[in-house]
Amino acid sequence: MFRDLVLKNRSYRRFYQDVALDEETLRELVDLARNTASGANLQPLKYALSCTPERNAQVFPCTIWAGYLPDWPGPDEGERPAGYVVILGDREISKGFGCDHGIAAQTILLGATERGLGGVMFGSLRREKLLKVFGLPGDRYEVLLVIALGKPKETVVLDPVEASGDIQYWREENGTHHVPKRALDDIIVS
């Protein structure tokens, strides 16, 4: 059921790093995104893929992990993503990218979830460094998002937002990750 897939698709930040991803899997996920809606059908998105330990080690320091967990620099070696999809906007096709990259990223993550994988989207990035990792010109390509992927090594629980209204995610000592979600009646305004 689609609802189950959506609820299972969480932002996972720790992975079984030794469970490899191959380029074909990443290509299949990007192919799902390629077939989604695009503003004015311009299709200005391009993708850079990483699934080798060497390239992944170059991509990892370009990502900024879990802003609400300031004492956590990201997953330790052995718990890092097995692959990345970098979503780029091609300025030779369009100067603006609307919400195309959000549609593409969610589609990739849902496709990953269906395959027993998990991931997390990054908007906080070291963009110039990331372009250099892939040897891409910054005048042509804009880094829009990065999706880290792998076999999840953590449990993510959805909690109702408490009366205080605090929406910050948090982690138990055992590593269980909690994400407060607003109630349906709180987000429908009319």
pTM for the model: 0.95
What's the CATH architecture for 155-190? Single Sheet (2.20)
CA gap 113, 6 in Å, rounded: 9
Contact present, 99 and 45 (Cβ < 8 Å): no
Percentage of the residues of the chain whose pLDDT score is greater than 70: 100
Residue 188 DSSP label: -
The predicted pLDDT at position 161 comes to: 96
Q: Please give the backbone phi and psi of residue 41, each rounded to the nearest 5 degrees, phi first.
A: 55, 30
- The CATH number fitting domain 2-154, selected from 3.40.109.10, 3.20.20.140, 3.30.465.10, 3.40.50.300: 3.40.109.10
Best CA proximity match to 42, nearest among 51, 31, 34? 34
The kind and range of the H/E element at 171 are strand 170-171
**pLDDT tens digits for range 38-79:** 999 999 999 999 999 999 999 999 999 988 888 888 999 999
Domain boundaries, the chain: 2-154, 155-190
Q: Please give the backbone phi and psi of residue 142, each rounded to the nearest 5 degrees, phi first.
A: -110, 125
Contact present, 88 and 143 (Cβ < 8 Å): yes
**pLDDT tens digits for range 122-158:** 999 999 999 999 999 999 999 999 999 999 999 999 9
CA gap 164, 142 in Å, rounded: 38
Mean of pLDDT over the chain: 96
